[in-house]
Amino acid sequence: MTLSDDRTWKRCSSCKEPIEFGVLYWVCNVSTCNRNRTALQFCTVSCWDEHLPIARHRESWAEERHAPATREAAERVAKPKEAPRPKRRIVADAKPARAAEPAAAKPAATGTTASNEVLIVASRLKDFVRYESGFNTSDRVLEPLSEIVRRVCRQAIANAERDGRKTILDRDIPKS
């Protein structure tokens, strides 16, 4: 906030005219235009309209805002009080990061067990079957196909472990 004029709050992002304290100004409703780093503000709706060809928003509009009434009010808004940081707990006897657990006991990456979840994207499968044959697909097909995918993945995991890797590669997938 180092503007030379005491009446100037910020400058228009388009025409660079000053926006004074306490006056009406406009911002773009699109979140990428309102981030702290970008923070676009416009003195008129026509200045806002000039940024649209550059920004290429799909759908946007100008939102009215009021500039802070005084420099002190602007500084209070610009520098909110920081919340106190939570204290860190250090536990001496914590488990090592790579504890040896059986593969079946490990949870999935999403935090849930994937033992009974459907692994097939229904809409993609149905589109594929309809494209290939013109047939419809029952929702009851998803569970047996998910079980087949689980079986193939378990075989691929075993192949990667046998080769001493922690990454499944295309060559680990068994050929049908």
Phi-psi label, residue 56: left if phi above 0, alpha if psi -120 to 50, beta otherwise: left
Residue ranges for the chain with pLDDT beneath 70: 1-5, 77-114
pLDDT value, residue 88 = 64
Q: How many helices (H) and strands (E) does the chain have?
A: 5, 4
pTM of the model: 0.41
pLDDT value, residue 2 = 47
Alpha helical stretches, state H, 29-170: 45-50, 52-55, 71-78, 122-133, 142-162
Angle at the Cα of 158 from the Cα atoms of 157 and 159, rounded to 5 degrees: 90
Phi-psi label, residue 72: left if phi above 0, alpha if psi -120 to 50, beta otherwise: alpha
Residue in the block written with tokens 């090592």 = 96
Summarised one tens digit per residue, pLDDT across range 58-70 is 788 888 888 888 8
Nearest CA-CA partner of 79 in 127, 24, 26, 36: 36
Summarised one tens digit per residue, pLDDT across range 91-115 is 665 555 554 455 555 555 555 555 7
The token duo for 135 is 């047939």
pLDDT value, residue 1 = 44
pLDDT value, residue 13 = 87
Q: What share of the chain is helix, strand, coil (3-state, %, to 5)?
A: 35, 10, 55
